[in-house]
């Protein structure tokens, strides 16, 4: 399964390095079978020791190799560190930073052309959730506009917007219903994200269609993130 941490706008270069080292040590000592992803801030990217199943990825990039886009990070700057996994479509970028679906699709095409793993995030806001499953699914399908769902390095993270950073996770029934419906059209691995923590990760990973989690807040503690990886190793699917 994929167990991913999204640092968002947290951690310095120094503290991220210490965190990554601790996770690497834990994964190697426990011989964890999880595919661990750590989406660190740009300033913390580096060439880290290569530990099988752990990849440090980028939370964002501008869809250009290099050029004149003041303040942005192009692919050349990611390639310097061998970045092989990127987040695209996170709700904070869609809603707070106002990324349009066409811009998100342009980033997707760009990353796909470079053959990197894409963790593509989708999710509905609270007002859509209140309208029921059909409204949720049509909202989610719109977030696939311009996206090649057959890309073989695609991973999808279903993250209801109202569950991100709120401490309120979706119910297991709701996660199962959405992931099962997504599975009808998609063959990519499906992750759940939204207030995943040590206390609920086991039951979420036991949802049949769920192949991993994307964790923000609760992963910003090395011990808790290691514990989540350990729990994932106990879940047999
Ligand atoms: C996220 O940022 O992708 C996320 C799921 O955050 P949190 O775990 O804090 O809800």
Tell me, what's the pLDDT at 50?
84
59 Cα to the center of ligand 1, angstroms: 13
32 Cα to the center of ligand 1, angstroms: 23
Check 92, 159, 176, 222 and give the catalytic one: 159
In 3D space, the residue among 94, 119, 117 whose CA is nearest the CA of residue 215 turns out to be 119
Spatial distance between the Cα atoms of 43 and 13, rounded to a whole number of angstroms: 6
| Residue 218 and residue 10 in contact, taking contact as beta carbons nearer than 8 Å | no
* Tokens, residue 169: 């996770």
Atom of ligand 1 nearest to the CA of 8: 2
Tell me, what's the pLDDT at 52?
81
Q: What are the 10-residue block averages of pLDDT along the chain, 237 residues in total?
A: 98 97 96 97 94 94 98 98 97 97 98 98 97 98 98 98 92 98 98 97 98 98 98 94
67 Cα to the center of ligand 1, angstroms: 31
Query: Which residue from 193, 224, 228 has its CB within 8 A of the most atoms of ligand 1, so it is best to mutate?
Result: 193
Q: Is 90 among the catalytic positions?
A: yes
Ligand 1 atom 6: residue of nearest CA: 216
Break the chain into its structural domains and give their ranges: 2-234
Atom of ligand 1 nearest to the CA of 166: 10
Question: Locate tokens 């992931």: which residue?
Answer: 179
Tell me, what's the pLDDT at 49?
85
| Residue 82 and residue 116 in contact, taking contact as beta carbons nearer than 8 Å | no
Task: Give whole-number Cα distances, 159 to 22, 33, 110, 232, in Å.
Answer: 27, 24, 23, 19
Q: Which residues contact 2 (CB under 8 A, 6 or more apart)?
A: 34, 35, 36, 37, 119, 155, 189, 191, 211, 212, 213
Ligand 1 atom 8: residue of nearest CA: 216
Atom of ligand 1 nearest to the CA of 163: 10
Ligand 1 atom 1: residue of nearest CA: 216
Query: Is the C-alpha dihedral spanning 67, 143, 98, 172 positive or negative?
Result: negative
5 Cα to the center of ligand 1, angstroms: 8
106 Cα to the center of ligand 1, angstroms: 24
CATH superfamily of 2-234: Aldolase class I (3.20.20.70)
Q: Give residues (CB < 6 A) around ligand 1.
A: 6, 8, 159, 164-165, 193-196, 214-218
């Amino acid at each position: 399964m994929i167990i991913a941490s999204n640092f968002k706008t947290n951690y310095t270069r120094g503290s991220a390095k210490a965190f990554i080292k601790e996770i690497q040590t834990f994964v190697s000592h426990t011989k964890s079978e999880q595919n661990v992803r750590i989406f660190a801030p740009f300033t913390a990217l580096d060439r880290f020791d290569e530990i099988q199943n752990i990849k440090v990825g980028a939370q964002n990039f501008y869809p250009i190799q290099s050029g004149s886009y003041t303040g942005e990070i192009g692919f050349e700057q990611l390639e310097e560190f061998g970045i092989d996994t990127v987040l695209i479509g996170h709700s904070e970028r869609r809603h707070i930073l106002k990324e349009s679906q066409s811009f998100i699709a342009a980033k997707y095409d760009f990353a796909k052309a470079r053959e990197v793993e894409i963790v593509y995030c989708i999710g509905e806001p609270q007002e859509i959730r209140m309208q029921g499953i059909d409204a949720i699914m049509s909202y989610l399908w719109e977030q696939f506009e311009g996206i090649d769902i057959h890309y073989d390095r695609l991973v999808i993270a279903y993250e209801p917007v109202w569950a991100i950073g709120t401490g309120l996770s979706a119910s297991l029934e709701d996660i199962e219903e959405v992931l099962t419906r997504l599975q009808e059209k998609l063959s990519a691995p499906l992750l759940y994200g939204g207030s995943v923590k040590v206390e609920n990760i086991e039951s979420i990973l036991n949802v049949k269609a769920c192949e991993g989690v994307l964790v923000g807040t609760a992963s910003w503690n090395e011990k808790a993130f290691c514990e989540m990886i350990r729990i994932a190793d106990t879940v047999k699917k």
